[in-house]
Structure 1
Amino acid sequence: MRINLSEDERSFLALLKHFKVTASTPVMEPSIIHTKDRFLSPLASSNVYSIIESLIDKDIIRIQNNGKFNSYYLTEEGASQVYGTFDLEQGVSQFMQIFQHFRVQSGHVLVLGSIMATRDQFLSPVYNERIEEIIEKAVGDDLIKMEDNFYRLTAKGEKYLYR
């Protein structure tokens, strides 16, 4: 269910998206303070703590104090608002974009290191956290084959990418 958010709240969520915040990956308060002016209007920037409180009240974000700084997390609802809900097929589509980026052809390989080094560019944090499940689905769908420390694009995978 989408919760109705103000423009300032949506702008603050864009700031959290910039830091790839999820329900398990926070952003610390100093990072918010130093970048808020890039995402919020001057009035909203001066009221950032009111915006935060409103988002906490709407169960979009949660706060945790680690003794030195506050850390801000998205709730599950917040992650859904920012990144959408997890869809395995969409995850496979995002993952396969890595192969397309490197222009991998059928029978050619992509080493695991290249995938891990570039996955943040192609996978949203929600999908990045579940990359193993996504890879298993791509293997199960015969789009790629896992071999040692690399993945080989299949003919079916090539058709999927370059239809």
Structure 2
Amino acid sequence: MKTAIGITDPNRQAVANELAKVLADETVLYIKTKNAHWNIEGADFYDKHKFFEGQFGQLDELIDGVAERIRAIGHYAPATLKSYLSLTHLTEQTREHNDSQGFIKELLADHESIIIILREHIKSFANEFHDSGSSDFITGLMENHEKMAWFLRSHLTN
């Protein structure tokens, strides 16, 4: 059935394309956070193991929200690892040591990168594509990432 929500088909498609990239970024960041949770080592193992668990729980909710937003504007959400790897701007990293400072710095950089991208989309979604709902949605998404980045940053010693 045709989606008739007051946004043109090309504009809905453009927003869905950008949200698909956001979904890919969120999913890759989720996996990287799971990796930190599973593979953390060191004297602060238990504390950071639980901390990363909280973070990937939050990311799981964000992922669901992005996919549902794509569906709400009448498109299908990508749902394969292959599609996520082709859409994301994040990179996978292999490391020699699984220490908390290394994981935290990497995850923080990813959150900050996502924040910048989301911030760039706020005005274009509203003004260029006339989709205030998606603009509002990604504003909230950005705020969630800002808080998660703050928590990560608070664990750094430098």
TM-score by length of 2: 0.28
More helix as a share of residues: 2
The structure richer in strand per residue is 1
Q: Which has the higher contact order (CA 8 A, sep 6+)?
A: 2
When Rg is computed on C-alpha atoms for both structures, the one with the higher figure is 1
Q: What is the TM-score when the length of structure 1 is the normalising length?
A: 0.28
